[in-house]
Structure 1
Amino acid sequence: MDVVVQVVRISWTRLSRGGDTAALRNAAPVGFPLHGNGFGVTEVRLHESGAFVPEWGPVRSDDRGEVRDLSLKEEDGRLRVLVRDNPFYAPRRDRRPPAVRIPRGEWVRWQINHRFGGCACGSEWVYELVTMNVAYGVVRDPGVFLGEPTKFVDERAWLR
Protein backbone atom coordinates (compact mmCIF):
# COMPACT_ATOMS: atom_id res chain seq x y z
CA MET A 1 0.00 0.00 0.00
CA ASP A 2 1.51 3.35 -1.06
CA VAL A 3 0.59 5.53 1.89
CA VAL A 4 2.48 8.32 3.61
CA VAL A 5 1.35 9.25 7.13
CA GLN A 6 2.59 12.17 9.18
CA VAL A 7 1.24 12.47 12.72
CA VAL A 8 1.74 15.85 14.41
CA ARG A 9 1.06 16.00 18.17
CA ILE A 10 1.03 19.33 19.97
CA SER A 11 0.64 19.10 23.76
CA TRP A 12 0.40 21.72 26.48
CA THR A 13 -0.93 22.52 29.96
CA ARG A 14 -2.94 25.48 31.21
CA LEU A 15 0.28 27.51 31.24
CA SER A 16 -0.02 27.80 27.45
CA ARG A 17 -3.70 28.68 27.34
CA GLY A 18 -3.08 32.40 27.09
CA GLY A 19 -0.46 35.04 26.44
CA ASP A 20 2.83 34.60 24.64
CA THR A 21 3.04 30.83 25.07
CA ALA A 22 -0.45 30.39 23.60
CA ALA A 23 0.62 32.49 20.62
CA LEU A 24 3.69 30.29 20.23
CA ARG A 25 1.54 27.15 20.44
CA ASN A 26 -1.01 28.46 17.96
CA ALA A 27 1.78 29.31 15.51
CA ALA A 28 3.06 25.73 15.50
CA PRO A 29 2.68 24.09 12.07
CA VAL A 30 0.39 21.09 11.55
CA GLY A 31 2.40 19.80 8.59
CA PHE A 32 6.13 19.38 8.00
CA PRO A 33 8.35 18.51 5.03
CA LEU A 34 8.92 14.79 4.56
CA HIS A 35 12.34 13.41 5.41
CA GLY A 36 14.27 10.78 3.45
CA ASN A 37 12.39 9.08 0.64
CA GLY A 38 8.98 10.27 1.87
CA PHE A 39 7.47 6.84 2.42
CA GLY A 40 6.05 5.34 5.57
CA VAL A 41 4.93 6.84 8.84
CA THR A 42 6.52 9.65 10.83
CA GLU A 43 5.50 11.45 13.99
CA VAL A 44 6.40 14.97 15.04
CA ARG A 45 5.85 16.06 18.64
CA LEU A 46 5.73 19.63 19.89
CA HIS A 47 5.56 20.04 23.67
CA GLU A 48 5.07 23.05 25.86
CA SER A 49 8.13 22.03 27.91
CA GLY A 50 10.24 22.16 24.75
CA ALA A 51 8.94 25.58 23.65
CA PHE A 52 6.98 23.83 20.86
CA VAL A 53 10.15 23.00 18.94
CA PRO A 54 9.48 19.98 16.68
CA GLU A 55 10.91 16.63 17.79
CA TRP A 56 10.84 13.71 15.35
CA GLY A 57 10.29 10.35 16.93
CA PRO A 58 8.80 6.91 16.56
CA VAL A 59 5.09 6.76 15.85
CA ARG A 60 2.81 5.38 18.53
CA SER A 61 1.58 2.00 17.35
CA ASP A 62 -0.78 -0.71 18.51
CA ASP A 63 -0.10 -4.42 19.05
CA ARG A 64 -0.12 -5.06 15.28
CA GLY A 65 2.39 -2.29 14.56
CA GLU A 66 -0.21 0.01 12.99
CA VAL A 67 -0.61 3.69 13.82
CA ARG A 68 -2.51 3.63 17.10
CA ASP A 69 -5.08 6.30 16.32
CA LEU A 70 -5.60 5.57 12.63
CA SER A 71 -7.43 3.02 10.50
CA LEU A 72 -6.33 2.69 6.85
CA LYS A 73 -7.86 0.31 4.32
CA GLU A 74 -7.77 0.10 0.52
CA GLU A 75 -11.25 -0.34 -0.98
CA ASP A 76 -12.19 -0.13 -4.68
CA GLY A 77 -9.09 1.86 -5.69
CA ARG A 78 -9.49 4.35 -2.85
CA LEU A 79 -7.95 4.66 0.59
CA ARG A 80 -10.39 4.61 3.51
CA VAL A 81 -9.09 6.81 6.33
CA LEU A 82 -10.63 6.90 9.80
CA VAL A 83 -9.17 8.45 12.93
CA ARG A 84 -10.00 6.43 16.04
CA ASP A 85 -10.90 8.39 19.15
CA ASN A 86 -9.70 7.35 22.57
CA PRO A 87 -12.81 6.89 24.75
CA PHE A 88 -10.85 7.76 27.89
CA TYR A 89 -10.02 11.29 26.71
CA ALA A 90 -12.29 14.30 27.03
CA PRO A 91 -14.37 15.69 25.56
CA ARG A 92 -16.39 12.64 24.73
CA ARG A 93 -17.51 12.55 21.13
CA ASP A 94 -20.84 10.78 20.73
CA ARG A 95 -21.10 11.76 17.08
CA ARG A 96 -18.11 11.24 14.87
CA PRO A 97 -17.62 11.93 11.18
CA PRO A 98 -17.57 8.93 8.85
CA ALA A 99 -14.43 7.59 7.25
CA VAL A 100 -12.99 9.59 4.34
CA ARG A 101 -12.18 7.87 1.06
CA ILE A 102 -9.49 9.38 -1.16
CA PRO A 103 -8.20 8.31 -4.58
CA ARG A 104 -4.50 8.01 -5.42
CA GLY A 105 -2.73 11.35 -5.59
CA GLU A 106 -4.86 13.00 -2.90
CA TRP A 107 -4.39 13.54 0.80
CA VAL A 108 -6.46 14.23 3.89
CA ARG A 109 -5.75 16.22 7.04
CA TRP A 110 -7.76 15.10 10.07
CA GLN A 111 -7.54 17.07 13.32
CA ILE A 112 -8.84 16.03 16.71
CA ASN A 113 -8.07 17.47 20.15
CA HIS A 114 -8.28 16.09 23.67
CA ARG A 115 -7.96 16.93 27.32
CA PHE A 116 -6.86 14.35 29.84
CA GLY A 117 -5.94 14.41 33.48
CA GLY A 118 -2.98 13.14 35.31
CA CYS A 119 -3.10 11.08 38.45
CA ALA A 120 -5.17 11.56 41.60
CA CYS A 121 -2.17 13.34 43.11
CA GLY A 122 -3.43 16.64 41.69
CA SER A 123 -1.48 16.91 38.47
CA GLU A 124 -2.75 19.31 35.83
CA TRP A 125 -4.84 18.75 32.75
CA VAL A 126 -2.87 18.06 29.62
CA TYR A 127 -4.24 19.20 26.26
CA GLU A 128 -3.34 17.71 22.90
CA LEU A 129 -4.02 18.54 19.28
CA VAL A 130 -3.41 15.57 16.98
CA THR A 131 -3.16 16.16 13.23
CA MET A 132 -3.12 13.14 10.92
CA ASN A 133 -1.81 13.94 7.44
CA VAL A 134 -2.39 10.96 5.13
CA ALA A 135 -1.41 10.84 1.43
CA TYR A 136 -2.39 7.98 -0.87
CA GLY A 137 -0.09 6.96 -3.70
CA VAL A 138 3.54 7.67 -4.49
CA VAL A 139 4.55 11.04 -3.04
CA ARG A 140 7.36 12.84 -4.85
CA ASP A 141 6.96 16.29 -3.27
CA PRO A 142 8.57 16.45 0.20
CA GLY A 143 6.40 19.51 0.93
CA VAL A 144 3.13 17.73 0.24
CA PHE A 145 1.81 18.32 3.79
CA LEU A 146 2.72 22.02 3.76
CA GLY A 147 -0.13 22.94 1.43
CA GLU A 148 -3.88 22.62 1.51
CA PRO A 149 -5.26 19.10 1.80
CA THR A 150 -7.66 17.60 -0.70
CA LYS A 151 -10.00 16.82 2.22
CA PHE A 152 -10.05 18.26 5.72
CA VAL A 153 -11.86 16.78 8.71
CA ASP A 154 -12.06 19.08 11.72
CA GLU A 155 -12.98 17.30 14.94
CA ARG A 156 -11.57 19.95 17.21
CA ALA A 157 -13.81 20.62 20.19
CA TRP A 158 -13.89 23.26 22.87
CA LEU A 159 -11.48 22.23 25.65
CA ARG A 160 -12.16 23.75 29.03
Structure 2
Amino acid sequence: MDVVVQRVRTSWTKESRGGPGAARRNAAPTAFSLPPSLSTALHEVAMRESDSFEPRMQVRDLSAPGAILREVDGLLRVDPPEVSMFAMPRRNRRPPAVRLAPGQWLQWLINYRFVGSCGGAWSYELETFNIVYGFAAPDVFLGVPTRRVDERRALR
Protein backbone atom coordinates (compact mmCIF):
# COMPACT_ATOMS: atom_id res chain seq x y z
CA MET A 1 0.00 0.00 0.00
CA ASP A 2 1.61 3.29 -1.13
CA VAL A 3 0.39 5.89 1.34
CA VAL A 4 2.05 8.95 2.81
CA VAL A 5 0.53 10.64 5.84
CA GLN A 6 1.61 14.07 6.97
CA ARG A 7 0.35 14.83 10.48
CA VAL A 8 0.71 18.50 11.42
CA ARG A 9 0.13 19.36 15.10
CA THR A 10 -0.08 22.94 16.30
CA SER A 11 -0.23 23.36 20.10
CA TRP A 12 -0.83 26.50 22.17
CA THR A 13 -2.09 27.92 25.47
CA LYS A 14 -4.23 30.94 26.35
CA GLU A 15 -1.19 33.13 25.60
CA SER A 16 -1.86 32.61 21.87
CA ARG A 17 -5.63 33.01 21.96
CA GLY A 18 -5.52 36.69 21.02
CA GLY A 19 -3.26 39.49 19.84
CA PRO A 20 0.21 38.86 18.41
CA GLY A 21 0.30 35.25 19.69
CA ALA A 22 -2.89 34.41 17.82
CA ALA A 23 -1.53 36.06 14.67
CA ARG A 24 1.59 33.85 14.82
CA ARG A 25 -0.50 30.75 15.52
CA ASN A 26 -2.96 31.48 12.72
CA ALA A 27 -0.05 31.97 10.30
CA ALA A 28 1.20 28.43 10.99
CA PRO A 29 0.71 26.29 7.86
CA THR A 30 -1.41 23.13 7.80
CA ALA A 31 0.71 21.52 5.06
CA PHE A 32 4.40 21.28 4.22
CA SER A 33 6.62 19.96 1.45
CA LEU A 34 7.62 16.34 1.92
CA PRO A 35 11.20 15.11 2.05
CA PRO A 36 12.29 13.86 -1.41
CA SER A 37 11.61 10.23 -2.36
CA LEU A 38 9.26 9.62 0.57
CA SER A 39 7.19 6.47 0.19
CA THR A 40 4.81 4.76 2.62
CA ALA A 41 5.71 6.83 5.66
CA LEU A 42 4.45 9.20 8.33
CA HIS A 43 5.83 12.74 8.09
CA GLU A 44 5.21 14.41 11.45
CA VAL A 45 5.37 18.16 11.89
CA ALA A 46 4.99 19.70 15.35
CA MET A 47 4.62 23.43 16.00
CA ARG A 48 4.39 24.57 19.61
CA GLU A 49 3.77 27.94 21.13
CA SER A 50 6.83 27.39 23.35
CA ASP A 51 8.98 27.16 20.18
CA SER A 52 7.37 30.24 18.55
CA PHE A 53 5.52 27.86 16.20
CA GLU A 54 8.73 26.86 14.43
CA PRO A 55 8.12 23.50 12.68
CA ARG A 56 9.94 20.43 14.01
CA MET A 57 9.83 17.54 11.54
CA GLN A 58 10.54 13.83 11.62
CA VAL A 59 9.82 10.86 9.38
CA ARG A 60 8.57 7.63 10.93
CA ASP A 61 7.17 4.37 9.68
CA LEU A 62 3.46 4.19 9.03
CA SER A 63 2.69 1.89 11.99
CA ALA A 64 0.74 4.54 13.97
CA PRO A 65 -0.51 7.27 11.64
CA GLY A 66 -3.33 8.47 13.95
CA ALA A 67 -6.04 7.35 11.53
CA ILE A 68 -7.13 3.91 10.35
CA LEU A 69 -6.11 3.30 6.75
CA ARG A 70 -7.06 0.24 4.68
CA GLU A 71 -7.24 -0.71 1.06
CA VAL A 72 -10.70 -1.88 0.00
CA ASP A 73 -11.59 -2.72 -3.61
CA GLY A 74 -8.73 -0.66 -5.07
CA LEU A 75 -9.50 2.41 -2.94
CA LEU A 76 -7.94 3.69 0.27
CA ARG A 77 -10.45 3.90 3.10
CA VAL A 78 -9.58 6.58 5.69
CA ASP A 79 -11.61 6.36 8.89
CA PRO A 80 -11.93 9.44 11.13
CA PRO A 81 -8.76 10.22 13.10
CA GLU A 82 -8.56 8.93 16.64
CA VAL A 83 -9.58 11.41 19.34
CA SER A 84 -8.54 11.46 22.97
CA MET A 85 -11.28 10.76 25.49
CA PHE A 86 -9.87 13.71 27.48
CA ALA A 87 -10.32 16.19 24.63
CA MET A 88 -13.12 18.71 24.32
CA PRO A 89 -15.45 19.34 22.65
CA ARG A 90 -16.95 15.88 22.63
CA ARG A 91 -17.53 14.48 19.20
CA ASN A 92 -20.34 11.98 19.49
CA ARG A 93 -21.07 12.08 15.76
CA ARG A 94 -18.12 11.79 13.45
CA PRO A 95 -18.02 12.13 9.67
CA PRO A 96 -18.05 8.92 7.64
CA ALA A 97 -14.91 7.31 6.25
CA VAL A 98 -13.43 8.85 3.11
CA ARG A 99 -12.39 6.74 0.13
CA LEU A 100 -9.52 7.82 -2.08
CA ALA A 101 -8.57 6.55 -5.53
CA PRO A 102 -4.88 6.30 -6.45
CA GLY A 103 -3.38 9.78 -6.91
CA GLN A 104 -5.97 11.50 -4.71
CA TRP A 105 -5.30 13.16 -1.37
CA LEU A 106 -7.30 14.14 1.67
CA GLN A 107 -6.92 16.91 4.23
CA TRP A 108 -8.67 16.25 7.57
CA LEU A 109 -8.63 19.01 10.23
CA ILE A 110 -9.65 18.54 13.86
CA ASN A 111 -9.08 20.68 16.94
CA TYR A 112 -9.18 20.07 20.69
CA ARG A 113 -9.11 21.73 24.08
CA PHE A 114 -7.54 19.98 27.07
CA VAL A 115 -7.72 20.80 30.76
CA GLY A 116 -4.43 20.44 32.63
CA SER A 117 -4.27 18.14 35.63
CA CYS A 118 -2.28 20.66 37.72
CA GLY A 119 -4.18 23.90 38.18
CA GLY A 120 -6.71 23.31 35.41
CA ALA A 121 -4.98 25.45 32.75
CA TRP A 122 -6.34 24.91 29.26
CA SER A 123 -4.24 23.96 26.26
CA TYR A 124 -5.29 23.67 22.64
CA GLU A 125 -4.32 21.67 19.60
CA LEU A 126 -5.08 21.69 15.89
CA GLU A 127 -4.28 18.44 14.15
CA THR A 128 -4.19 18.24 10.35
CA PHE A 129 -3.90 14.95 8.50
CA ASN A 130 -2.77 15.20 4.88
CA ILE A 131 -3.03 11.76 3.30
CA VAL A 132 -2.09 10.79 -0.26
CA TYR A 133 -2.82 7.43 -1.85
CA GLY A 134 -0.07 6.51 -4.29
CA PHE A 135 3.01 8.38 -5.43
CA ALA A 136 3.84 11.42 -3.26
CA ALA A 137 5.65 14.28 -4.99
CA PRO A 138 7.35 16.58 -2.45
CA ASP A 139 4.83 19.38 -3.11
CA VAL A 140 1.71 17.19 -3.21
CA PHE A 141 0.13 18.77 -0.09
CA LEU A 142 0.77 22.37 -1.18
CA GLY A 143 -2.15 22.37 -3.63
CA VAL A 144 -5.88 21.89 -3.28
CA PRO A 145 -6.92 18.54 -1.74
CA THR A 146 -9.17 16.14 -3.61
CA ARG A 147 -11.27 15.80 -0.45
CA ARG A 148 -11.36 17.93 2.73
CA VAL A 149 -13.02 17.17 6.06
CA ASP A 150 -13.14 20.02 8.58
CA GLU A 151 -14.02 18.93 12.11
CA ARG A 152 -12.85 22.14 13.77
CA ARG A 153 -15.19 23.44 16.48
CA ALA A 154 -15.36 26.52 18.70
CA LEU A 155 -13.02 25.85 21.63
CA ARG A 156 -14.04 28.76 23.94
Q: TM-score, normalised by structure 1?
A: 0.91
Instruction: Specify every segment of 5 or more residues in structure 2 that has no aligned partner in the other structure, as ranges.
Output: none
Deviation per CA, 1:55-80: give whole Å up to 9, x if none: 0136698xxx322x210000011000
Aligned residue among 140, 143, 160 for 2:139: 143
Q: Distance in 2 between matches of 1:22 and 1:145?
A: 24
Residue type of the partner of 2:69?
L
CA contact (8 A) 1:7 1:59 kept: no
Distance in 1 (alpha carbons) for counterparts of 2:55 and 2:49: 11
Partner of 1:132: 129
Q: Distance in 2 between matches of 1:36 and 1:143?
A: 9
Is structure 2 residue 96 aligned with structure 1 residue 95? no
Output the CA distance in 1 between the equivalents of 2:85 and 2:60.
Answer: 20
Give the structure 2 partner of residue 21 of structure 1: 21
2:47 corresponding residue in structure 1 = 46
Report the alpha carbon displacement of residue 44 of structure 1 after superposing the two structures with TM. Answer: 0.2
What is the identity percentage for the equivalent residue pairs of Structure 1 and Structure 2?
Answer: 51
Give yes or no for contact 1:110–1:152 (8 Å, CA) kept in 2: yes
1:118 Cα deviation after fit? 1.4
> Helix, strand or coil: the match of 2:78?
strand
CA distance in 1: counterparts of 2:59 and 2:121, whole angstroms: 26
Alignment of 1:30-69 (within 5 A): 30-39=30-39, 40-57=41-58, 65-67=63-65, 69=66
Q: What secondary structure sits across from 1:70 in the alignment?
A: coil
RMSD: 1.6
**Gapped runs of 5+ residues in structure 1?**
none
Task: Check the 8 A contact 1:112/1:154 in 2, yes or no.
Answer: yes
Aligned to 1:106: 104
Residue matched to 2:77: 80
Write the letter of the residue equivalent to 1:36.
P
Runs of 4+ in 1 over 4 A off after TM superposition: 58-61
CA contact (8 A) 2:42 2:61 kept: no
Q: What amino acid does structure 2 have at the position aligned with 1:158?
A: A
SS at match of 2:95: coil
